[in-house]
Amino acid sequence: MIAKLQTAISNVPSRKARLKGLTRVESVKLRVERAALLFRGAPIAITISAVNAGITTAVMWSDISRNILLGWAGAILVLSLLRGALWLRFRFDGTSGRNMSRFATYHLLFMALNGALWGSLGPIFAVHGLLGHAFLPFVMAGMAVAAIVSAGASWRAVVAFNVPALAPLAAVYAIAAGADGFATASIVVLYGVATVYLALTMQRVVDRSILLHTKNTTLFSALQRQVDEAHEAEQRFRGLVECSQDVTLIFSPSGRITYASPSVESALGAAPEDMIGLTTKEVVHPDDIPQFRAVGEKSLSQLGEVMTLDHVCMKGRGLTEHVALSGRLTNMLYVPGIDGFVFSGGLLDAGKRAHIHAAE
Tell me the CA distances in angstroms from 91 to 1, 42, 96, 179, 267, one per residue in order: 44, 11, 10, 51, 68
Contact (CB, 8 A) for 203 and 155: yes
* Kind plus residue range of the DSSP H or E element containing 22: none
Interatomic CA distance for residues 41 and 254, integer angstroms: 56
Q: Which of 310-337 are b and which e, b meaning 16 or more Cβ less than 10 Å from the residue's Cβ? A: ebbbbbbbeeeebbbbbbebbbbbebeb
CB 116 within 8 A of CB 136: no
Distance CA 260, CA 174 (A): 88
Question: Of the candidates 62, 165, 177, which has an alpha carbon nearest to the alpha carbon of residue 131?
Answer: 177
Render each residue's pLDDT in the chain as its tens digit; 360 residues: 444 444 544 544 444 444 556 677 777 777 888 888 888 888 988 998 999 999 999 999 988 899 999 999 999 999 999 999 999 998 888 878 888 888 888 988 999 999 999 999 989 988 888 877 888 888 888 888 788 777 777 888 888 888 898 898 889 888 877 777 888 888 888 888 888 888 888 888 877 777 777 677 767 777 677 766 666 766 665 665 555 678 888 988 888 999 888 888 888 888 888 899 998 888 888 888 888 888 777 766 666 677 888 888 888 877 778 888 888 888 888 777 778 888 888 888 654 444 455 444
Domains of the chain: 2-222 (no CATH), 244-359 (3.30.450.20)
Alpha helices in the chain (DSSP H): 2-10, 15-19, 24-59, 66-93, 97-119, 121-127, 135-151, 155-176, 181-242, 264-268, 272-275, 280-283, 289-299, 350-353
Closest CA to 192 of 222, 147, 126: 147
Using alpha carbons, select from 142, 144, 133, 154 the residue that is nearest to residue 207: 154
- Nearest partner of 209 among 37, 23, 1, judged by Cα: 37
Answer yes or no: are the C-beta atoms of 132 and 63 closer than 8 Å.
no
Cα 219 to Cα 222: distance, rounded to the nearest angstrom: 5
Distance from C-alpha of 353 to C-alpha of 334, rounded to nearest angstrom: 34
Q: How many CA atoms lie within 13 A of 7 on its CB side?
A: 4
Nearest to 36 by CA among 204, 206, 178, 163: 206
CB 198 within 8 A of CB 165: no
Handedness of CA 159, 163, 165, 169 (dihedral sign): positive
What span, in angstroms and rounded, lies between the C-alpha atoms of 330 and 307? 6
Of 306, 357, 353, 297, the residue nearest 325 (C-alpha): 353
Q: What's the CA gap between 330 and 191, in Å, rounded?
A: 71
